[in-house]
Structure 1
């Protein structure tokens, strides 16, 4: 027989768990709304930069050799940048990315030609145990300070790519599909994937002060905005996953609490019945 006081203590403990998971769920909902709002603006901005860049590239093609290096793929040295969370309690958000990386690195030839870097501490812990790390600052970037560090980080990636430290740079992240469904995306970051089927301006642009200066500004801007857009997609996916996990945790904790209340009432009723029987037996013995 379980002590009713112990059951009562467990009920109070479960109630605090329910309050915590419910609060985390609400927090994730608020953050998800903000992240989705920023993501819409980032996608629109990125699309505008892409259209502008492609139209500039399609103008007179003199002296364009300097910019072919951004679009050409040479060699097999790869860098994979993974977007994970800093904290747990977000379901399969991180584990899906880790499974994708493990399946890719089953081939031994990839281990010598690939480096990994993480946006998020969970990814850093994973890479540090098994794979070769790309050295930059403390080898990972915190989610909270990514926005302020992304400009320098993008410039570092461009510099290393142009110096041929890497021939390919990929981004691996969770993308949110149809509100709740998540998909692992492996997207090429450098060299730039050019699609000249994009919308072309009807009137050729007038390039001032020069095409070179415009491209020197547009290409880093394109890559920086792309990195931001993917970060926001990953953030939205993380908040969605955490919201779902906390919702399930709240439901499970509520079910446990209801079962404990039922057991508490049974034990309490049994105790009361036992005490009544003892009183009756005492009265009969006196008579």
Structure 2
């Protein structure tokens, strides 16, 4: 049996753990609300962009689409962009991404590919595993601004058009309605016109295009790709805050269970000590008689 003083010290330490996990849970809830609002706006914007593509280009100009560089796959090198967190304490959010990377690496050994991380945890993982080639020596943090994301997308587009990559894939955590997560591998470039989502179709309009359809398409595609990457960026952050909120909630519940057990043990030890003292007093009185 443990010393009551030691048990009391452990109870106090568990109380401080509960305060910490509850505070982190509340912070994650506040951040989650903000990121959800941003994600809804970006999703609506991207939905209208896809509708414009469908209505303006994809329905009537299949040949023009097929000849466009953004829709063609050239080269051999594949780039995988992984979306991880900057910090830990978010359950299996990062480990599931790492498992998917290992699976890709072992399954497709003969193919050429390179990795880039959005998030410090993914960058540290890629640096530790020297077998993975990294696209840049730096990484993009989850606190990056939209302008930083936009400049990164411009760099990706430039390298893709220079045929440094045959294709670019995004690996991220997708949040389901049941608050569970699944790893999604989504093709970023070349654009697959068959996989565009058309949730809200804008009314069909007879557009007057100036200066030309081709130049407008080349102007809109970078905007579309920037919106798509931003959507996945904020979706990953939303999934991260959800995972951290759930893990902190579970940690708080486990800490409460440990605290209850410690209080029970403390009461037992205290009762045992009191019983021993009473027995000593009684035995002393008996010896005096």
Which TM-score applies when normalising by structure 1? Answer: 0.91
Q: 2:152 & 2:112 partners in 1: Cα distance?
A: 21
Which 5+ residue runs of structure 2 have no aligned equivalent? none
Query: What SS is found at the alignment partner of 2:109?
Result: helix
Give 1:64 deviation, angstroms: 4.7
Q: 1:67 & 1:224 partners in 2: Cα distance?
A: 22
Q: 1:197 & 1:234 partners in 2: Cα distance?
A: 19
8 Å contact 1:86–1:122 — kept in the other structure? yes
Which 5+ residue runs of structure 1 have no aligned equivalent? none
Does 2:246 correspond to 1:247? no
Count of aligned residue pairs for this structure pair: 285
Match of 1:178 in 2: 177
Which TM-score applies when normalising by structure 2? Answer: 0.90
Query: What SS is found at the alignment partner of 1:183?
Result: strand
More deviation in 141-150 or 155-164? 141-150
Match of 1:233 in 2: 235
Q: 2:51 & 2:210 partners in 1: Cα distance?
A: 17
Q: 1:10 & 1:62 partners in 2: Cα distance?
A: 69
Cα gap change, 1:239 to 1:232, in 2 (>3 Å): same
Give 1:57 deviation, angstroms: 2.5
Does 2:181 correspond to 1:202? no
User: Where do 4+ consecutive residues of structure 1 move more than 6 Å?
Assistant: none
Q: CA RMSD in A?
A: 2.4
Cα gap change, 1:179 to 1:38, in 2 (>3 Å): farther
Does 2:190 correspond to 1:191? yes
Task: Within 5 Å, give how 1:116-155 maps onto structure 2.
Answer: 116-130=115-129, 131-136=131-136, 138-155=137-154
Does 2:78 correspond to 1:78? yes
8 Å contact 2:86–2:142 — kept in the other structure? yes
Deviations 1:180-227 (A, max 9, x none): 121111000000111389547522211234434433331111000000
